[in-house]
A and B are shown apart, each in its own frame.
Chain A
Amino acid sequence: MNFTEKAVIMNAKEMNRALERMAHEIIEANKGVDNLVLLGVQRRGVSLARMLAEALRRVENIDVPQGALDITFYRDDLSRLGPSPKVSSTEMPFDVNEKIIILVDDVLYTGRTVRAALDVIMDWGRPQAIRLAVLIDRGHRELPIRPDFVGKNVPTSQREIIKVKVEEFDGKLEVIVGEVGEA
């Protein structure tokens, strides 16, 4: 399989602007940031959560606690994918009970990752609420899951792939759309 890049759909500036806007929406919806925690889905969701936290600090001048969620052991597609050799860790540096959790991921697609993430959170405790923030919503949901905060809606075909690039892993900020075909 080879990946062909088709277009850059967000550059660094647009990404930052989208995250900035999402930060405002989060504050608006929750009437502030009290009791709020950010939980990024490993791995790029964690980077986006950090960027969101920075945006929140800029707006409200307060540090929102951040955590990281590894959903490898909660996937429902083990038999299709095989075990992942890249298992990250879950970091939950706070008590989730009675918190409002903003779950952060890069791309929302079938909804299965979010489903798994909800299970992980439930195994840690009983939050007051869980909201979903994604940078890109590309459609094609297979589960009744809907994001609360979206950076950009990108209609795609199922053959297409969306790649979100972040500083930590990719050395730059951008979102590209590409296609996978048989070599």
Chain B
Amino acid sequence: MEWSWDRIPAEFVVTNVMLCRGGTLAKGRGFLHVRKGRIEALGAGSPSHEGIPVLDAGGMVCAPGLVDLSVHFREPGNEEKETVATGSRAAAAGGYTAVVTMPDTDPAVDNSGMVRYMIDRGREAGLCRIFPTGAISPGRRGEAMTEFGDMVAAGAVGFTDDLNPVANGNLLGNALKYAGMLGVPIITHPEDQTISGRGVMHGGYWATRLGLAGMSRAAEDAALFRDIELARAAKGHLHVAHVSTKGAVAIIRRAKDEGVRVTAAATPHHFSLDHARCRDWSPLFKTNPPLREADDLAAIAEGLADGTIDAIATDHAPHTATEKEFQFDQAPFGVVGLETALAVGITYLVRTGLLDLGQLVACLSERPARALNLPAGRLEEGAEADFVLIDPERPWTVAARAFRSRSANSPYLGETLTGRAVATFLRGRLTWRDEDGAGAS
């Protein structure tokens, strides 16, 4: 039977692919057999499948659907920036089939009703799996604990107050203990705000030169150290949402060696861009944690390579064009990342020789899924057929109008990156196809 992109059949075989799983890229060509939304079989070679439609992938890499541990979909409350539907579209276009949403919506996701709402909105969009996190404290005010148990029952996969780091150590310690009992992590953005103060970028030469208030590494390292000691004492699971300093990498490495249950992620911008990018005061480079220095970037790449950092998470943070027209010190923190993460990884980690493609794919799929115990990111027999076909050689230029996200506040605008998701499948259904995707025909 002929393959048709217009009508994806319930059963089909993708042939002529380079299977990428378990941190390794297969040496030879292989196949993937999908049936009723599940992976029926996969492996090397190209066994005959009489009467089943065949998609010849032309040598594309076939990877597990990517998993993002940190996205801000802004719904409800700031639908002008993003919605669950537009965010899901962006995720699919980036090769993602699962995302973990942050609870910093308005109102915040701080009760089971909101958790269910997020899951329902994700289902309606139908383009990727939504795993919501809940807030640690009502309204993310850092005063008391939310109903963790109720929210976990509704589907929450962890708890975080995100950019409002919990200042009260006792509350965070209790949250770690309580979440530990429920088998879910506490996710933190380590920042001692009494240290970072009114900082808007990394504290260093460029902040000095540009006359912008700096955020020192100490703000992140000190807060992380506290969070880890609380996790050690609570025997809970701490997940660090986005590591940006060399010190933080070292602290996590040691904690892991000592048996503390800590996992961590880093964003693509923190291993690819340094603070010099702020030199023209473009708010597209304003992130929290801020873009740091060359040795921090190197430490993060090393942390990803040796497993100290479990995952690459985008921290996808859409903002409207208007907000990014504000002056640097007035503009909000954050950049979009879902549609560029894979290419930034290939461009800055694989093509530079810091990671091989197998490792990168694992950092974007299997390792994040494992870090947060998510039923996703598995390319194996019997698993749901979430996968992505990747052209790792394909150069493309990042253009604002091409974003599927409702926002285009990307620090890579105008940059030519290499590697792209050419087709994304969720439960065997096509959620994204690159229209000029050469090869997969």
Direct contact of A and B (CB under 8 A): no
Which residues of A does B touch, CB under 8 Å?
Answer: none
Which residues of B does A touch, CB under 8 Å?
Answer: none
